[in-house]
Amino acid sequence: MKNIWNMTKKDLKIFLKDRAAITWLFILPVVFILIFSFLTYLAMGGSSRQETDTRTRLIVVNGDPEGALNQRFLEDLDRAGIFRLEIASQAAADDNLKYLKVSRYLVIPANFSADLAQGKPVTVTVVVHPDGNLSGTETLLKVVNGVARDISLELQLLDGIRQMGEMQAGNPTAEEAFPVEKTLAQAKSQFEQSRTAPLISVSSRTLETGNQTEDTFNLSTSTVPGMTVLFVFLASSVVARAIYEERKTGCLRRLVSAPLRRSELLSGKMLPIWLLTLIQIVVIFFFGAFILPLLGIGTLGAGMNIFAWAVTSMIIALCATSLGIMISSVAKTEGQISGLSNALLWVAGFLGGALIPTFLIQQIPMLNVLSRFVPQSYATQAYYDIMARGAGLVEVLPELGMLLVFTGIFFFIGLRRFKFE
């Protein structure tokens, strides 16, 4: 252990003198995140096309688009001033909810207007994501119930008045039959009926999502994890180059005579980069948590599980440095290290959701299958689950387990193929 720590201190001193390496590990990721986030922000309609309507987006699956009473219901809901209504198909609403672009949507049944006109009760449904914002759902239910009660009351009062009119028609003693007291009693009865048996009722149900995760399109939450995974795995090329340089200068050859096992040597080469990679992760997340919000590009989830995030970060960094060991043992020249790193890490980063959100990858069957064979996909998914869904360590254990499997494979290959010359 002492030998490993001595090698680690030596490599850290060398690294801290290398400005290019420091730029690659710490400055370039921050610049890349800033540019990528800003371009995405503009593409989504950022500062150049800022919407003036700040109400909460509410998707409506409208099964009765031509109904007059349905139009009245939607107008009253819009007039409440809390939600910005957006009509969408059932499939589009489900996709938006599944990936947490919205936390809930409203379904208006077919024949909504026709059934109400005949005095038949109807039910509108609020479909809720299990990981959605609870207070937002409660607000929606209150608003929808309020609008529904108002329309129900009006329709039932009009129906009661119509019934009284029909009963009075042709009745010569109508004034005696329907005095003021009886009319008031009828109106009171209709009020009570509208409270206990409204024509429009509201129900809610939770979307069954299985293991599917969300993707809130908060730019910071969507961009920072992917960029972190991309640059952490790109750091594996630093490990490979460091070993190549020591092999080229003969330093590794001299270590043959030292009382070091091959596994100790590789561990000594991994440890400094692993520590620097952890610092890189902290720097990137610090930038995402405190700098991006000042620029108006979103905030990282404040409710994320810090312990789960820390353990996940350590395992991701370990997997990336193990990959560097494997690359150094497979590549024979500096050109091969660069070429293999670029081809492997950028393509794997794309497949793993580091450059585009994972839910877009999952919607393309071929890419979804290929992504299962790269560690970046499990790393990105674990970060998204922790940050966007508030998942704990237990919930991301499957992803962490796969990352440890990749780590073992990379280190085993590197150990078996490693050469001192």
Amino acid at 104: R
| Cβ pair 222, 380 in contact under 8 A | no
Least confident of 111-120, 192-201, 285-294: 192-201
| Cβ pair 351, 371 in contact under 8 A | yes
- 256 HSE (CA, 13 A, CB side): 8
Please tell me which residue, 416 or 3, carries the higher pLDDT value.
Answer: 416
* Selection from 153, 152, 63, 149 nearest residue 106 by Cα: 63
Pairing mode, strands 56-62 and 104-108: parallel
- Tally of CB atoms within 10 A around 361: 19
Indicate if the pLDDT at residue 67 is higher than 60: yes
* Selection from 324, 344, 300, 156 nearest residue 235 by Cα: 324
Contacts 24+ apart (CB under 8 A), 409-414: 410/319, 410/322, 410/323, 410/325, 410/326, 411/266, 411/322, 411/325, 411/326, 413/326, 413/329, 413/330, 414/266, 414/322, 414/325, 414/326, 414/328, 414/329
What is the pLDDT confidence band of residue 209, given thresholds at 50, 70 and 90? very low
* Selection from 125, 156, 148, 153 nearest residue 73 by Cα: 148
Task: Summarize pLDDT for 87-139 with one digit per residue, the tens.
Answer: 999 988 887 787 667 788 999 999 898 888 887 888 999 998 776 566 677 88
Indicate if the pLDDT at residue 265 is higher than 80: no
| Cβ pair 330, 244 in contact under 8 A | no
At 62 the pLDDT is: 93
Task: Summarize pLDDT for 149-189 with one digit per residue, the tens.
Answer: 777 776 766 666 666 666 666 565 555 555 545 555 555 56
- Note the Cα 59 to chain centre separation in Å: 18
DSSP structure class, residue 394: G
What is the pLDDT confidence band of residue 48, given thresholds at 50, 70 and 90? very low
Least confident of 42-51, 150-159, 160-169, 348-357: 42-51
> 50-206 in CATH: which number?
3.40.1710.10
Q: Using CA atoms, how far apart are residues 336 and 223, in angstroms rounded to an integer?
A: 30
What is the pLDDT confidence band of residue 49, given thresholds at 50, 70 and 90? very low
Please tell me which residue, 349 or 379, carries the higher pLDDT value.
Answer: 379
Please tell me which residue, 47 or 143, carries the higher pLDDT value.
Answer: 143
Determine the average pLDDT of the residues in 139-150: 83
| Cβ pair 112, 73 in contact under 8 A | yes
What is the pLDDT confidence band of residue 211, given thresholds at 50, 70 and 90? very low
Q: What is the mean pLDDT of the chain?
A: 75
Could you tell me the residue ranges of all domains in the chain? 2-44+217-417, 50-206
User: What secondary structure, in 3-state letters, does 246-305 show?
Assistant: HHHHCHHHHHHHCCCCHHHHHHHHHHHHHHHHHHHHHHHHHHHHHHHHHHCCCCCCCCCC
- Tally of CB atoms within 10 A around 152: 21
Q: What is the pTM of this model?
A: 0.58
Buried b (16+ CB within 10 A) or exposed e, 213-252: bbbbbbbbbbbbbbbbbbbbbbbbbbbbbbbbebbeeeeb
Least confident of 146-155, 248-257, 343-352, 386-395: 248-257
Residues with Cβ within 8 Å of residue 181, at least 6 apart in sequence: none
Bridge partner list, 339: none
At 329 the pLDDT is: 80
Indicate if the pLDDT at residue 381 is higher than 80: yes
Q: Using CA atoms, how far apart are residues 67 and 85, in angstroms rounded to an integer?
A: 17
Amino acid at 218: N
Please tell me which residue, 150 or 7, carries the higher pLDDT value.
Answer: 150
DSSP structure class, residue 327: H
At 312 the pLDDT is: 95
* Selection from 362, 278, 288, 358 nearest residue 319 by Cα: 278
What is the pLDDT confidence band of residue 316, given thresholds at 50, 70 and 90? very high
Q: Using CA atoms, how far apart are residues 118 and 309, in angstroms rounded to an integer?
A: 57
Buried b (16+ CB within 10 A) or exposed e, 296-319: ebbbbbeebbeebbebbbebbbbb
